[in-house]
Amino acid sequence: MHIHNLGFPRIGAKRELKFSLEKYWRGEITQAEFLTSCKQLRQQNWQLQHDAGVEWLPVGDFAHYDHVLNTTLMLGLAPERFVANDSNALDLEFRVARGQAPSGCQCAASDMTKWFNTNYHYIVPELNENLLASLTPVNAQSLISQCEEAKQVSDKTKAVLLGPISYLYLSVCQDEEKLSLLPALLVRYRALLEQLSLAGITWLQLDEPVLGLELDEIWQDAFTSAYQQLDKGRLKLLLTSYFASIDHHVELIKPLDFDGLHIDLVTQEKDVTAIVNALPEHWVISLGVINGRNIWKTDLVSVYQKLQPLYRQLNDRLWIAPSCSLLHSPVDLQQESKLDAEFKSWLAFAKQKCEELTLLKYALEHENSDEITLYSNAALARCVSKRIHNESVRTRINGLSHDDFHRKQSFLERKVVQQKALNLPILPTTTIGSFPQTGDIREVRAKWRRKEITEKQYQSLIEEEIRNTIIKQEDIGLDVLVHGEAERNDMVEYFGELLEGVAFTQFAWVQSYGSRCVKPPIIFGDVSRKQAMTISWINYAQSLTDRPVKAMLTGPITILCWSFVRDDISREDVAKQIALAISDEVVDLVDNGTQIIQIDEPAIREGMPIKQSEWQSYLSWATAAFCLSAAKAPAKTQIHSHMCYSEFNDILPAIIALDADVLTVETTRSNMALLDAFDEQAYPNDLGPGVYDIHTPNVPEVDWMVDLLEKAQKYIPIERLWVNPDCGLKTRSWQETKLALENMVTAVKKLRSAY
């Protein structure tokens, strides 16, 4: 039996990659210094895995920015607009990723999007016929030389590469049908494999995560023909899937010339024996038995019991590994010094997950489960610990009935009551919540955290910021104001820290994209609200103005999706618990006289399961959780929600089911095209399609916004239209923000006078 790993977190236990990337971008270190730091980091990562007992070390999982981008560069497929003006390989990479690099001219960066249902973002390949036909050579040298580097740590190395079908599936093509580009893409993949084979590489892990999807027949045929055509030379190919089961594609896979298959045994419980028996007898079977995406210690005894018969059957054909690349897990638990011993005993980060595999291998080979029994006690103890159980939360959940998930009155009835109470003009203007987060505000929060200022000082500094924000909004002439979110570092962290059942670490960072890392909260127990979370700030803001101030809450699905979540109860149940806590806040806000409450749900879409056939059941519990959080609001309280993406076509019924009185969405980048979705299926409630993109510093012109709003009226009657930017303004400067919002208000005035 062999232990291998699909990939390791590249950022380093101390986020070394982040810091050296940013230093390089700022020009504080040279290119050579940057590259040396990356090389050290790779060595460090391999050494760590090796010491933890990993036998086949992954090579090619490291990336300066992103591994999909690496694949693009190896294939010689950087979009033409970048290649034209550059000869510096590293800066070409950064220009594709972020539009700029220390050398060369600026360029519009390639798009970035979420990697399946994770919080990792990859750089989307941009393909077209000309690019694929161009003469830019395929070059596997970076991967080959990293394999050489890794030999300093171990002889057993396994190169990792994103396979052609997933690569194509995840790319965007301008004009052509994607699959028409496959033959040309395969020419490049063949060249890549040839180089790897000639370099003497033995194992190649070909990642094909799209196998978890329900591929239609055309893509299935493409898969078959692609792998029939790839010449593997002397390489051994480990076909690798993760994030979902692939039972439905076994027939597709088995006739092809692979040497092994990796399957994720954690995400979905499936019949492994049936798969094993279906596959050729010489194949290696790699079983992903340790969850690569959470932070919980594994109950190794139960894994052992499952694996024992398979080990007897497969012997050295059996490989064991984490379910997916450990890219999605933090690096090393040992660094955490502030967690209490009990809590810490429940956790395992990337390094510990590798060690778990070693323990498991020992137990299987020696038929001795003593050590893993001892080890697993903590994992088992977590599930029965008093700390994770809260009877009153359970009682509330059990007592929920149909009415708790629905507002009492219909939208039409609510609209009348709200209009009477709020008396808003046609095309009401508002913002999405946050206002510019200046260095000063960050400093105030940091000082407060470090206890360098008192609670009282902190409160008055934040209040001062709120006051300024309210005054500015009044001056600009907005109709519905917000307090500006100055007290929040992050929309999930802020609430997480105030909820019971949620914990925070010091160093459990995971890469989100490039140098950006996130430190997700850990939802470990039953969630409840300890105390009011937003009331005092909102009350203060409302006391300063006669215009309505909209309170800001983060919705249950977003809190769920952006956290590490307990695995002893279903995600649906966790979502319900969070929803109840948010609902308590809604009730308090209403009692305090708040007339408008926004419950942000930017993450609903990313929580979607990999398989389309499972979307419906997810969407129904996800929307139910949102509704549960909002349902107690009386008719007079206007509930807003916000989502910052623009693909609604396939999930509009779920969006309608949220039954928010007002929904604000991103639309600018699609030039209101997304509203097509709303048109066909008739969105019934109020809608605020964003009229300008907050991701750029450009100030939008009045006429341009007038134009967009006129377009929007073709889809949504003016009586149901709101006017707002695409998203929160926290990353912008006050100067731009003020000009942009003033133009927005002017645009609305023009339209109102014509109405």
* Two structure tokens written together for 213: 């999807």
Q: Residue with structure tokens 């009350």?
A: 539
Nearer to ligand GLN, 230 or 482 (CB): 482
Residue 18 marked as a ligand binder? yes
Residue 483 Cβ vs Zn ion, minimum distance, rounded to whole Å: 17
Residue 646 Cβ vs ligand GLN, minimum distance, rounded to whole Å: 13
DSSP 8-state class, residue 492: T
Residue 588 marked as a ligand binder? no
* Two structure tokens written together for 592: 């305090």
Instruction: Find, among 203, 394, 287, the residue nearest to 1 by Cα.
Output: 287
List the single partner that 132 binds among ligand GLN, Zn ion, none, CB under 5 to 8 Å by kind. none
DSSP string, 79-107: -HHHHTT---HHHHHHHHHHS--SSS---
Q: Which residues bind Zn ion (CB under 5 A)?
A: 644, 727
Helices (H), 492-643: 493-498, 535-543, 556-561, 571-591, 615-630
Nearer to ligand GLN, 255 or 697 (CB): 697
DSSP 8-state class, residue 207: E
Residue of 173, 491, 658, 716 that binds ligand GLN (CB under 6 A): 491
Nearer to ligand GLN, 376 or 554 (CB): 554
Given its phi and psi angles, is residue 336 left (phi above 0), alpha (psi -120 to 50 degrees) or beta?
beta
Nearer to ligand GLN, 12 or 728 (CB): 728
Residue of 73, 161, 300, 552 that binds ligand GLN (CB under 6 A): 552
Residue of 125, 433, 555, 609 that binds ligand GLN (CB under 6 A): 433
**CA-to-CA distance for 575 and 558, rounded, in angstroms?**
9
**CA-to-CA distance for 216 and 220, rounded, in angstroms?**
6
Nearer to ligand GLN, 58 or 433 (CB): 433
**CA-to-CA distance for 676 and 302, rounded, in angstroms?**
50
Residue 572 marked as a ligand binder? no
Piece of the chain touching ligand GLN by CB under 6 A; list 52-60, 76-84, 182-190, 429-437: 429-437
**CA-to-CA distance for 166 and 155, rounded, in angstroms?**
29
Give the type of residue at 192. Answer: L
Q: Which residues are catalytic?
A: 695
Give the type of residue at 77. Answer: L
- Contact flag: residue 730 with ligand GLN (CB under 6 A): yes
Q: Residue with structure tokens 């499952």?
A: 306
Residue of 71, 267, 294, 434 that binds ligand GLN (CB under 6 A): 434
- Contact flag: residue 727 with ligand GLN (CB under 6 A): yes
- Enclosing H/E stretch for 236: strand 236-240
- Contact flag: residue 432 with ligand GLN (CB under 6 A): yes
**CA-to-CA distance for 154 and 148, rounded, in angstroms?**
10
Residue 389 marked as a ligand binder? no
Nearer to ligand GLN, 485 or 526 (CB): 485
For 384, other C-beta atoms within 10 Å of its C-beta total 9
Piece of the chain touching ligand GLN by CB under 6 A; list 221-229, 238-246, 375-383, 427-435: 427-435
Residue 41 marked as a ligand binder? no
List the single partner that 552 binds among ligand GLN, Zn ion, none, CB under 5 to 8 Å by kind. ligand GLN
For 754, other C-beta atoms within 10 Å of its C-beta total 8
Contact 444, 741 (CB under 8 A): no
List the single partner that 600 binds among ligand GLN, Zn ion, none, CB under 5 to 8 Å by kind. ligand GLN
Residue 6 Cβ vs ligand GLN, minimum distance, rounded to whole Å: 30
Three-state DSSP at 529 gives strand
Residue 15 marked as a ligand binder? yes
Nearer to Zn ion, 633 or 644 (CB): 644
Q: 3-state DSSP helix/strand/coil percent for the chain, to nearest 5? A: 50, 15, 40
* Two structure tokens written together for 34: 């940057």
- Contact flag: residue 642 with ligand GLN (CB under 6 A): yes
Query: With CB under 6 A, what is the number of residues at the site for ligand GLN?
Result: 13
Torsions phi, psi for 11 (to 5 deg)? -75, -20
| Residue 312: burial class (beta carbons within 10 Å; 0-12, 13-18, 19+) | exposed
List the single partner that 434 binds among ligand GLN, Zn ion, none, CB under 5 to 8 Å by kind. ligand GLN
Q: Give residues with Cβ within 8 angstroms of 312, minimum separation 6.
A: none
Nearer to Zn ion, 253 or 604 (CB): 604
Residue 17 marked as a ligand binder? yes
Nearer to ligand GLN, 17 or 432 (CB): 432
Piece of the chain touching ligand GLN by CB under 6 A; list 64-72, 104-112, 367-375, 432-440: 432-440
**CA-to-CA distance for 582 and 586, rounded, in angstroms?**
6
Piece of the chain touching ligand GLN by CB under 6 A; list 81-89, 417-425, 464-472, 726-734: 726-734
* Two structure tokens written together for 20: 């050296």
Q: Residue with structure tokens 């890219």?
A: 327
**CA-to-CA distance for 101 and 64, rounded, in angstroms?**
13
Distance of CA 457 to the CA centre of its chain: 36
Site string for ligand GLN, 14-33 (x = CB under 6 A): --------------------
Residue 642 Cβ vs Zn ion, minimum distance, rounded to whole Å: 6
- Contact flag: residue 548 with ligand GLN (CB under 6 A): no
Residue 372 Cβ vs Zn ion, minimum distance, rounded to whole Å: 45
Residue of 6, 181, 364, 644 that binds ligand GLN (CB under 6 A): 644
**CA-to-CA distance for 612 and 210, rounded, in angstroms?**
12
DSSP 8-state class, residue 686: E
Residue facing Zn ion at closest CB distance: 644
Residue facing ligand GLN at closest CB distance: 728
Residue of 479, 526, 585, 600 that binds ligand GLN (CB under 6 A): 600
**CA-to-CA distance for 190 and 623, rounded, in angstroms?**
46
- Contact flag: residue 121 with ligand GLN (CB under 6 A): no
**Residue set of the binding site for L-methionine:** 432-434, 485, 600
**Residue set of the binding site:** 15-18, 114, 119, 432-434, 485, 516-517, 562, 600, 606, 642, 644, 666, 727
Q: Which residues bind ligand GLN (CB under 6 A)?
A: 432-434, 485, 491, 552, 600, 602, 642, 644, 727-728, 730
**Residue set of the binding site for Zn(2+):** 642, 644, 666, 727
